[in-house]
Amino acid sequence: MGNAKGLVGFIGEIRAGKDTAERLLMGWIGKEMPGATLKKHRFSQILEDTLELFTAPTVNSLNEEAVARQALLRWGLPKTYADVRAVLDIMDGFRSCQGGRTRDPHARENMQFLSMDMDARVRRGALSFAMGERIKGDPSDIVVLNGLRWDSDVEMFFSVPNRVPILIGITASEETRYRRALLRTDEKTDEVGITLEEFRRLSAKPTETNIPRLLSAHSTLIFRNEGVGEETQKNLSVAMYGAAVFVKERLELQT
């Protein structure tokens, strides 16, 4: 592809429809920009990979320091003594199930805890930095990044060198998002049969409360994604077609 390289991000509340929008957009970009290489990245993938590493049954007192160093290596951070000790403390929290943490690497609440732990115990923006390093090393024409939620995520997103950033906000009412959570049984294990009170508790975590402000202030495009079912999917597909055309035109302008 002769155009400039792009970085497309998605930001939105829990169950606003970011994953569906991402899938639809990538499909439309493939049709509108044949030959362009695409790669998607997710903050949640870094968190899940790290939690799987921390809670593996093979981790013990003899190898836990090596595991902590491996985590820092994956995050692209220096393996200083202080950072290794901080990671060991985080690991212990999950392995001993402190403060609501569990050993389930796929639970949304565990990923929320890990994101906050990395920010508070290792360094501010540790997860954002780790993602930035992955994107910098990706040769794809267009990188799609799903799940921005911290100020440091947005700062990283708009400062990645040699890429044109386009941030897409996806939003929906609490009622709509909760209805979708009730219908999902194949992803986050702590959302199966979730009550409205539990859903509100997840949405009130520090990892989520910044999202409306950041979405409003920094999104290049914003789409309201209401409803549940096939008709909603059709509407979102139309919206993502428009977003794909916008991405194509924006990158052509930067060539």
pLDDT score recorded for residue 108 = 87
Domain ranges of the chain: 6-42+138-253, 45-122
Residue 119 structure tokens: 């920010």
Helix (H, G, I), strand (E, B) or coil at 216: helix
pLDDT score recorded for residue 254 = 83
Task: Please give the single-letter amino acid code of residue 177.
Answer: R
Residue 61 structure tokens: 């007192």
pLDDT score recorded for residue 122 = 95
Q: Give backbone dihedrals phi and psi of 140, rounded to 5 degrees, phi first.
A: -60, 150
| Angle, CA 131 vertex, CA 130 and CA 132 arms, to 5° | 90
Q: Give backbone dihedrals phi and psi of 70, rounded to 5 degrees, phi first.
A: -65, -40
Please state whether the predicted TM-score (pTM) of the whole model is above 0.85.
yes
Decide if domain 6-42+138-253 falls under CATH 3.40.1410.10. Answer: no
| Angle, CA 55 vertex, CA 90 and CA 96 arms, to 5° | 60
pLDDT tens digit sequence for 133-181: 999 999 999 999 999 999 999 999 999 999 999 999 999 999 999 999 9
Helix (H, G, I), strand (E, B) or coil at 125: coil
Residue 16 structure tokens: 């606003």
Cα(198)–Cα(218) distance, integer angstroms: 29
According to DSSP, residue 122 is labeled: I
Cβ contacts of 216 within 8 Å, gap of 6 or more: 169, 222
Q: Give backbone dihedrals phi and psi of 169, rounded to 5 degrees, phi first.
A: -95, 130
Q: Give backbone dihedrals phi and psi of 91, rounded to 5 degrees, phi first.
A: -55, -45
Cα(47)–Cα(77) distance, integer angstroms: 15
Residues of the chain predicted below pLDDT 70: 1-3, 185-190
